[in-house]
């Protein structure tokens, strides 16, 4: 009888214990949709070219593998299902070379080929089984009057379950390290960058005072252990002294600088890339910094200096058009953006060009804008911005049903099911039954309705 109040008091504790363990496991893989994705034509082209030999070495099709950039200043990369590698912007700005990024991508490809996200549930099942068994044994002990012993059983069970899961995770990481080294070797790419990046991680751990003696409570093996294992593999590899393609390296330094200019505080960018630095990467970074700071003339000067080095560079032309457009000069932006699309028919650049055509508010430009945007979506239908602009065009034309469908597409991509459902239903009322557009609106409505119902149930 004396233990009854203590037993009742432990009930919330048991619930919290199970919930915390479940959360600790579930949060191991990050929800990519909850984070801000950055899209840039030049960066995505570099990702494709840089990773192609590694993807082929991994036995995968380059067209099926995506590398997605996420706006997060932490140094991280991960996979979360399918053949998609998510890379944080902080990793790109922290890397010193293209070879370092290649080392990271090779490791993440190891997770994909190893099916680690799919097998994540196996580790969870084992850990959950241990937890549930310890809870049952603990509750039985408490019911028998051994309250302290029961609590001890449950606490030990939680520790054992978490330890089992972390051990499972460490095995996956070691497996991916070895697979990554194999892919680098098969692609003829040096492992020096991989080791250099691990050294950055280790230095960061030292600064954060993360223990380096025991890997028991870690999801990853000790960084020093990983480096020792990889050094033995890399240094005897024929590709150890292979140089990085100079063009690939130059392109990396450009996108690293423009990314820093885009995501960083302008003051930090100008310190990192002072005006005394006349290199292409430095001018790239400063152009974005000045543009963000609302100094259009200084931004124009940097872009013009870039174009002086290469008047036909599509990404310099794209930046010039962007600065003019976002400075309230859409008509002046058209020439640069039209040339950019000619030299690099990328759907992202085309979407910006379509936006500029609409922003002129000149009706004679709308038909060209619609043609450009429909072609862009035909090549990449996962761009919410392009769908939004196409919806604007349909609205100008008075085609409310297709404007609603385009808006439904946009909200569907942005993960906003209620708005996607409302617009899809409106589209269904105005589009002829059985047509491709009607079927697409129906698909979006069905998916969105299911998502809304799930939200309500949750």
pLDDT, one tens digit per residue, over 283-297 is 999 999 999 999 999
pLDDT of res. 4 = 39
225 in a structural domain: yes
pLDDT of res. 134 = 47
- 77 and 164 together in one domain: yes
- 278 and 210 together in one domain: no
Q: Of all residues in the chain, what percent carry a pLDDT higher than 70? A: 75
- Which range, 3-17, 204-218, 222-236, has the best average confidence (pLDDT)? 222-236
pLDDT of res. 231 = 85
Q: Which is more confidently placed, 149 or 69?
A: 69
285 close to 273: Cβ distance less than 8 angstroms:
yes
163 in a structural domain: yes
pLDDT 10s digits, 23-42: 333 333 344 444 589 999 99
269 close to 288: Cβ distance less than 8 angstroms:
yes
* Residues 268, 271, 273, 275, CA torsion sign: positive
User: What's the whole-number mean pLDDT along residues 394-413?
Assistant: 96
Q: Which is more confidently placed, 95 or 160?
A: 95
With 60 as the cut, is the pLDDT of residue 179 above it?
A: yes
- 195 and 317 together in one domain: no
pLDDT of res. 85 = 94
* CB burial readout 6-40, b (16+ within 10 A) else e: eeeebeeebeebbeebeeebeeeebeeeeeeebbb
- Closest-CA residue to 254 (of 316, 296, 312, 300): 316
- 225 and 318 together in one domain: no
Mention every residue, 6+ apart, whose C-beta is less than 8 A from residue 388. 406, 407, 410
- Provide the 8-state DSSP code for 363: G
With 90 as the cut, is the pLDDT of residue 198 above it?
A: no
**Three-state SS at 85:** strand
85 in a structural domain: yes
pLDDT 10s digits, 297-337: 999 999 999 999 999 999 999 999 999 999 999 999 999 99
User: What's the whole-number mean pLDDT along residues 394-402?
Assistant: 96
The enclosing domain of 109 has a CATH number of: 3.30.2010.10
241 in a structural domain: no
CB atoms near residue 417 (< 10 Å): 21
Q: Which is more confidently placed, 147 or 98?
A: 98
* C-alpha torsion 421→426→429→431, nearest 10: -90
258 in a structural domain: no
- 229 and 290 together in one domain: no
With 50 as the cut, is the pLDDT of residue 157 above it?
A: no
pLDDT of res. 197 = 87
- Closest-CA residue to 70 (of 108, 34, 99): 34
Q: Which is more confidently placed, 222 or 75?
A: 75
- Closest-CA residue to 273 (of 74, 94, 222, 284): 284
Mean pLDDT, the chain, whole residue set: 82
- 11 and 57 together in one domain: yes
With 70 as the cut, is the pLDDT of residue 167 above it?
A: no
- Which range, 12-16, 169-173, 194-198, 243-247, has the best average confidence (pLDDT)? 243-247
- 65 and 142 together in one domain: yes
User: What's the whole-number mean pLDDT along residues 264-273?
Assistant: 95
Alpha helices in 360-435 (DSSP H): 366-379, 384-397, 400-413, 417-430
- 210 and 329 together in one domain: no
Q: Which range (143-152, 320-329, 348-357) has the least confidence?
A: 143-152
pLDDT 10s digits, 96-144: 999 999 999 999 999 898 875 554 454 444 444 444 444 554 455 455 5
- Closest-CA residue to 395 (of 417, 439, 363, 420): 363
With 90 as the cut, is the pLDDT of residue 80 above it?
A: no
With 90 as the cut, is the pLDDT of residue 390 above it?
A: yes
432 in a structural domain: yes
With 90 as the cut, is the pLDDT of residue 339 above it?
A: yes
Q: Which of 234, 255, 284 is the last residue of a domain?
A: 234
135 close to 157: Cβ distance less than 8 angstroms:
yes
Work out the pLDDT band at 414, boundaries 50, 70, 90.
Answer: very high
Residue 367 corresponds to which tokens in the numbers above?
Answer: 């038909």
Q: Which of 213, 234, 255 is the last residue of a domain?
A: 234
pLDDT of res. 159 = 53
- Closest-CA residue to 47 (of 128, 122, 125, 108): 108
pLDDT of res. 307 = 98
- 229 and 287 together in one domain: no
User: What's the whole-number mean pLDDT along residues 186-196?
Assistant: 93
Whole domain around residue 230: which residue ranges? 4-234
Q: Which of 234, 252, 287 is the last residue of a domain?
A: 234
375 in a structural domain: yes
pLDDT 10s digits, 421-457: 999 999 999 999 999 999 999 999 999 999 999 988 8
- 227 and 359 together in one domain: no
Residue 400 corresponds to which tokens in the numbers above?
Answer: 């409310």
Q: Count of domains in the chain?
A: 2
61 in a structural domain: yes
CB atoms near residue 125 (< 10 Å): 11
pLDDT of res. 168 = 40
pLDDT of res. 3 = 41
With 90 as the cut, is the pLDDT of residue 2 above it?
A: no
Residue 192 corresponds to which tokens in the numbers above?
Answer: 């020096």
With 60 as the cut, is the pLDDT of residue 147 above it?
A: no
- 152 and 289 together in one domain: no
- 211 and 295 together in one domain: no
Work out the pLDDT band at 279, boundaries 50, 70, 90.
Answer: very high
pLDDT of res. 138 = 44
pLDDT of res. 202 = 73
pLDDT of res. 330 = 97
**DSSP of 18-69:** HHHHHHHHHTTS--GGGSPEE--HHHHHHHHHHHHHHHHHTT--GGG-EEEE
The enclosing domain of 310 has a CATH number of: 1.25.40.10
Work out the pLDDT band at 355, boundaries 50, 70, 90.
Answer: very high
d(CA 458, CA 444): 21
């Amino acid at each position: 009888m004396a233990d009854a109040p203590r037993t009742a008091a432990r009930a919330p504790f048991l619930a919290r214990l199970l919930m915390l363990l479940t959360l600790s496991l579930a949060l191991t893989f990050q929800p990519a949709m909850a984070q801000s994705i950055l899209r840039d034509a030049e960066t995505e082209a570099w990702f494709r070219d840089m990773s192609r030999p590694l993807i082929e070495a991994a036995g995968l099709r380059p067209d099926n593998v995506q590398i997605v950039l996420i706006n997060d200043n932490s140094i991280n990369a991960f996979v979360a299902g399918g053949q998609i590698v998510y890379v944080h912007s902080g990793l790109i700005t922290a890397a010193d070379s293209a070879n370092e990024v290649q080392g990271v991508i090779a490791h993440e490809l190891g997770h994909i080929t190893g099916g680690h996200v799919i097998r994540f549930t196996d580790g969870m099942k084992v850990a959950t089984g241990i937890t549930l068994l310890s809870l049952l044994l603990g509750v039985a002990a408490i019911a028998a009057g051994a309250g302290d012993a029961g609590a001890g059983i449950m606490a030990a069970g939680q520790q054992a379950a978490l330890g089992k899961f972390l051990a499972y995770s460490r095995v996956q990481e070691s497996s991916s390290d070895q697979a990554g080294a194999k892919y680098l070797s098969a692609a003829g790419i040096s492992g020096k960058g991989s080791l250099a990046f691990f050294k950055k991680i280790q230095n960061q751990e030292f600064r954060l005072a993360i223990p380096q003696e025991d890997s028991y409570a870690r999801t990853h093996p000790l960084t020093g252990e990983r480096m020792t294992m990889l050094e033995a593999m890399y240094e005897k590899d024929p590709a150890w002294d292979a140089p990085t393609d100079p063009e690939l390296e130059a392109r990396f330094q450009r996108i690293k600088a423009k990314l820093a200019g885009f995501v960083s505080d302008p003051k930090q960018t100008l310190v990192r890339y002072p005006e005394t630095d006349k290199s292409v990467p430095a001018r790239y970074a400063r152009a974005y910094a000045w543009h963000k700071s609302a100094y259009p003339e200084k931004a124009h000067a940097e872009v013009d200096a870039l174009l002086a080095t290469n008047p036909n560079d599509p990404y310099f032309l794209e930046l010039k058009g962007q600065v003019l457009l976002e400075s309230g000069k859409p008509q002046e932006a058209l020439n640069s953006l039209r040339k950019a699309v000619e030299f690099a028919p990328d759907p992202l650049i085309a979407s910006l060009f379509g936006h500029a055509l609409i922003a002129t508010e000149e009706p004679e430009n709308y038909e060209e804008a619609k043609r450009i945007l429909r072609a862009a979506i035909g090549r990449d239908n996962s761009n919410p911005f392009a769908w939004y602009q196409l919806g604007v065009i349909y609205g100008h034309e008075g085609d409310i049903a297709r404007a609603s469908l385009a808006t439904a597409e946009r909200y569907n991509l942005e993960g906003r099911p209620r708005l996607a459902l409302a617009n899809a239903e409106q589209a269904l009322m105005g589009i002829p039954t059985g047509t491709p557009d009607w079927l697409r609106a129906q698909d979006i409505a069905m998916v969105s309705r299911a998502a809304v119902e799930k939200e309500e149930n949750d």
